[in-house]
A = this chain, B = another copy of it.
Amino acid sequence: MELLFLGTGAGVPAKRRNVTSMALKMLNERGAVWLIDCGEATQHQILHTTLKPRRIEKIFITHLHGDHIFGLPGLLGSRSFQGGTEPLTVYGPPGIRAFVETALQTSSTHLQYPLFIEEIEEGTVFEDGHITVTAGKLDHGIDSYGYRFAEKDKAGELLVDKLRADQIPPGPLYKQIKEGKTVTLEDGRTIDPQPYTSDPQPGKIITVLGDTRQCAAAEELAEGADLLVHEATFNADSAQMARDYFHSTTVQAAETAARAKVKKLCLTHISSRYTKEMESELVKEAAAVFEPVLIAHDFLELPVG
């Protein structure tokens, strides 16, 4: 899993940072890409990457502010125009369906693939053999969700070469060994499965929060995550402004990361009032509270874990 930032600004597009969108790339894991949020011109940003719109399987919307959704109708249309035929599901707060359907109907956009729209509430919004997605409500004036993407642990692999080297013949026993059972061979040997299986691989966890004030729900969603993506619309000095506008400061984001004991924090949704030169200061403010921390920029790609 890798996270590719497509837009890292706040509120309105600026030359250096587009409005919010991220691509969670899971090409090895499931041959698919998921988007989180889709601000205006997300499809334009994608033109500058190797992402293929037809690979986008799911889009998770954190909240309905324009800087997080106005790119959705265009992206959905272009995915069809460019030959996407696989189903796509959009998850988001109630209201997302009316917005998307009105835009597609008004524009006579006829998608060549099945589009599903799921209006979410707190709890598990998707689960399959690979991953579980949980949503929790944050504190942003309007409904704003954070999403926790938790891959399932991968069972250990059978070390076939080692089994053969030790003259353990292939057959149904292999399956039992893989499942961790002690088995007895025809020649009388008793086989402890442990040396013949690799360690199980814990699934990676990434938490991406919508716009929010500091809140307990954020901490809960981020608990132990390999990567936490947290908005930091304001610097440490602007706590009152952050509170008034239902946003967070650098330090508040770092405090949540520390309490949730995440492995890495990435700050995004950076106000255009902060110039490139001021960014190192923003990182410093957060790093005084939690490390490792970095600040996102458009087209930054991070491995998860």
Contacts and interface: CB of A to CB of B under 8 A. Distances in A.
A95 B106 contact: yes
Q: How large is the interface on A (under 10, 10 to 19, 20 to 34, 35 or more residues)?
A: 35 or more
B66 A77 contact: yes
Contact of A70 (B14, B48, B107): B107
A155 interface: no
Interface in A139-164: 142
Interface in A48-99: 48, 64-66, 69-71, 73-74, 77-78, 81-82, 95-96, 98-99
B103 A70 contact: yes
Contacts of A132: none
Contacts of A66: 73-74, 77, 103, 107, 109
Given A77-B66, A95-B106, A44 B48 contact: no
Interface string A1-34: 0000000000111110010000000000000000
Contacts of A12: 43, 77-78, 81-82
Q: Kindly report how many copies of this chain are found in the complex they form together.
A: 2
Contacts of A14: 47
User: Chain A binding site: helix, strand, loop or mixed by DSSP?
Assistant: loop
Nearest to A18: B44
A16 to B, nearest CB: 10
A188 B285 CA distance: 88
B98 A64 contact: no
7 contacts: A12-B78, A13-B74, A15-B48, A40-B40, A64-B107, A99-B106, A108-B142
A41 interface: yes
Nearest to A73: B70
Interface in A193-209: none
Nearest to A96: B106
Q: When A and B form their complex, which 8 residue pairs have the shortest distance between CB atoms, in order from nearest?
A: A66-B107, A41-B41, A99-B106, A102-B102, A40-B74, A70-B74, A12-B78, A95-B106
Nearest to A103: B99
A65 B108 contact: yes
A78 B66 CA distance: 10
Contact of A40 (B15, B69, B71, B99): B71
Nearest to A16: B47
Q: Which of A96, A99, A142 has the most CB of B within 10 A?
A: A99
